[in-house]
Amino acid sequence: MCIMMNLIGIISLFACVLIWRADAYTDSRPLLPPFPNGVCSGSVVTLPQDELYSTKSSPFNLFSSIENIMLPPRDVKVWMPAEYHKPEFRTHRFPVLYCHDGQNAMEDADSWTGSSWRLVGALTRLYERDLLRIEAPPIVVLVPCGDSFQRRHSEYGDLPHPVSQAHGEFMANKLHPYIMNRFRVKEGPEHCAALGSSLGGQASLQLLLRYPKIFGAAACLSPCFQAGTIAAVVSKSISPSEREDLRSKTIYIDNGGDVDDTRVPVIDVMDHFTMNDRWWNPGYWWLDTTLQPMIDAVRFALDQAGVQYRYEKFPGGRHNERGWSQRIHRPLLHLYGKENENESV
């Protein structure tokens, strides 16, 4: 009996050592994609369209008819981290992150290219590794774009575009108050961020420029900045009061493209192994390189204004959802990471 007990004790000790070593190994592994797909133990709710949009148009309600033409109703989804429903967080309020092209942000099967950014997976992984300075991951509001490329280009278009202005008005004055009323969300621009890719990156920066009292941060992946947006940054950099306001914001910009001898491949076979029938994913290999001058113009204006921001360059990076999924943790670390973690991960 004594020998048996000693043997059990040795086995238990050995198992504890193995678990400790496994945990240590897990914590020390580099944070590398691919990140998990899907809701990652969180939960998702779809907001009722009739509470956000004027779904009952009539010829006697001209405003609603015009509003529906400008911004047709769509399903806006909200992801809540698992902590949102835990007893110890029942009085806790969460930061909020608004995602343009929300259909591409979380689920591979929902994305128009069959690959998503896996943003929720990256957030969850960062939180599990204690790399975030916030107590719990933010609530993520997934705002899909219009149902055609033409409509998307209007909604996320240049600053003077009327549909772009209507989109910003909806985000700031209808959707955000709704989120504030329905969910436990922290108040103040320092807790409200927007994120997007390509034209969605431009739309994210526009929210910060148009509504600085609501939005305090913008993350722009491979952004497509246009003349009006660039001009707005220049204008704010000239005005002393607006310059100081811009300096208080958190801004992240990145892009891929050709760099020296590193070229974006015309075809990447892995782009076409997708989670739905949208297997044709061109990768837009030329876009990040083509968009570089506009990014440089925004950076120049920010530099002249003394605005602190983070810019990262990913040589050979492609302009598609799979490409952004390879680096989605970088903007999240800039928005929510602990000090210096962005340098070490």
What gap in Å lies between CA 124 and CA 276, rounded to an integer?
24
Decide the pairing of beta strands 96-100 and 310-313.
Answer: unpaired
pLDDT in tens, 261-298: 999 999 898 888 876 777 777 789 999 999 999 999 99
pLDDT of residue 25 exceeding 50, the answer is no
Specify the higher pLDDT residue, 65 or 135: 135
Question: Which pLDDT band holds residue 55 (cuts at 50, 70, 90)?
Answer: low
pLDDT of residue 58 exceeding 70, the answer is no
Count Cβ atoms below 10 Å from residue 32 Cβ, excluding itself: 10
Count Cβ atoms below 10 Å from residue 273 Cβ, excluding itself: 11
The pLDDT of residue 286 is 95
Coil, strand or helix at 341: helix
The pLDDT of residue 277 is 74
What is the maximum alpha-carbon separation in the chain? 90
Q: How far is CA 177 from the centre of its chain?
A: 20
pTM, 2 dp: 0.89
Question: What is the average pLDDT across 147-155?
Answer: 92
Specify the higher pLDDT residue, 235 or 58: 235
pLDDT of residue 62 exceeding 60, the answer is no
Instruction: Give helix 199-210 / helix 162-170 axis angle, nearest 10°.
Output: 70
The pLDDT of residue 69 is 80
Provide the mean pLDDT of the chain: 89
What gap in Å lies between CA 242 and CA 30, rounded to an integer?
40
pLDDT in tens, 177-187: 999 999 999 99
What are the strands of the beta sheet with 43-46, ordered from one edge?
A: 43-46, 77-80, 139-143, 96-100, 192-197, 217-221, 250-255, 310-313
Question: Which pLDDT band holds residue 3 (cuts at 50, 70, 90)?
Answer: very low
Q: What is the dihedral of CA 156, 159, 163, 165, to 10 degrees?
A: 110
The pLDDT of residue 54 is 75
Q: Which amino acid is at 199?
A: L
